[in-house]
């Protein structure tokens, strides 16, 4: 097993996907009920003490969590050798050879995930093709996170939630299960019984 896999990179991504799912569910409830945006206080605790970082709006915390989830959706697709083809408007196979330091699933001795496999997983989980919601996240990464833009695109809460759930299942099934490695405990995630 590679050092990269053992370093916990995937656990960090899985934890953030779980956190982003919960953040968007909570924010969606505020939108539906018309409630005021919640305030926030982030508390950092260590052996050196505790520091409270107050914020007037929850964006202090929620925005970076959502941004990282958007980036991690794109990174996860690239890792399993997939991408969204804007011309074809579909998930397609793609091995990125532009960057020689990119790490991908084949280096773990696991085959690339096919577009059909991702579509089948999405249809199993949601009864919908992944293109119906994942493109929302990828468009946001391409436009908003890559550079300043006049396009005021924000991914929908449902797109964020579904993309995070799909990528989590993709990693668990096609990396952990494929390697026969015990799945990590993911905080905030409902464990399957």
Asked if pLDDT for residue 6 goes beyond 90, the answer is no
d(CA 171, CA 183): 10
50-93 pLDDT, tens digit each = 999 998 888 888 889 999 999 999 999 999 999 999 999 999 99
In the block, tokens 């468009």 appear at 139
User: Domain for residue 187, yes or no?
Assistant: no
User: Residue 193: inside a domain, yes or no?
Assistant: no
pLDDT in tens, 101-148: 778 899 889 999 999 999 999 999 999 999 999 998 988 888 776 677
Domain count, the chain: 1
Instruction: Give the phi and the psi of residue 16 in degrees, each rounded to 5.
Output: -70, -40
Under the phi-then-psi rule, with left for phi > 0, alpha for psi from -120 to 50, and beta for the rest, what region is 54?
A: beta
Domain assignment of residue 130, yes or no: yes
Q: Where are the alpha helices (DSSP H) in the chain?
A: 3-6, 9-33, 59-79, 115-126, 131-140, 157-171, 178-179
- The first and second tokens of residue 97, run together, are 């050879």
Report the C-alpha gap between 141 and 71 in whole angstroms: 6
| Summary mean pLDDT of the chain | 88
Domain for residue 123, yes or no?
A: yes
3-state secondary structure of 88: coil
pTM surpassing 0.75? yes
Please check whether residue 132 lies inside any domain of the structure. yes
Residue 49 lies in a domain: no
Residue 78 lies in a domain: yes
- Rounded Cα gap, residues 16 and 10, in angstroms: 10
Examine residue 99 and state whether it is found in any structural domain, yes or no. yes
User: Which residues constitute the domain of residue 95?
Assistant: 3-35+65-179
């Amino acid at each position: 097993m590679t050092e990269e896999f053992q370093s916990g990179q995937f656990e960090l991504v899985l934890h953030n996907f779980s956190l982003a799912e919960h953040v968007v569910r909570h924010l969606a409830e505020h939108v539906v009920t018309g409630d005021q945006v919640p305030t926030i206080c982030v508390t950092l605790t260590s052996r050196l003490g505790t520091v409270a970082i107050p914020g007037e709006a929850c964006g202090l915390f929620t925005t970076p969590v959502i941004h990282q989830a958007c980036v991690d959706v794109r990174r996860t697709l690239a890792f399993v050798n997939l991408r969204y083809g804007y011309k074809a408007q579909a998930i397609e196979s793609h091995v990125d050879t532009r960057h020689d330091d990119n790490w991908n699933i084949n280096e773990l001795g696991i085959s690339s995930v096919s577009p059909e496999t991702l579509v089948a997983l999405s249809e199993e989980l949601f009864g919908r093709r992944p293109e119906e919601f994942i493109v929302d996240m990828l468009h946001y990464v391409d436009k908003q996170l890559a550079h300043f833009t006049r396009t005021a695109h924000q991914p929908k809460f449902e797109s964020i939630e579904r993309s995070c759930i799909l990528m989590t299942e993709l990693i668990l099934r096609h990396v952990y299960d494929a390697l026969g490695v015990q799945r990590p405990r993911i905080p905030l995630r409902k464990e399957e019984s």
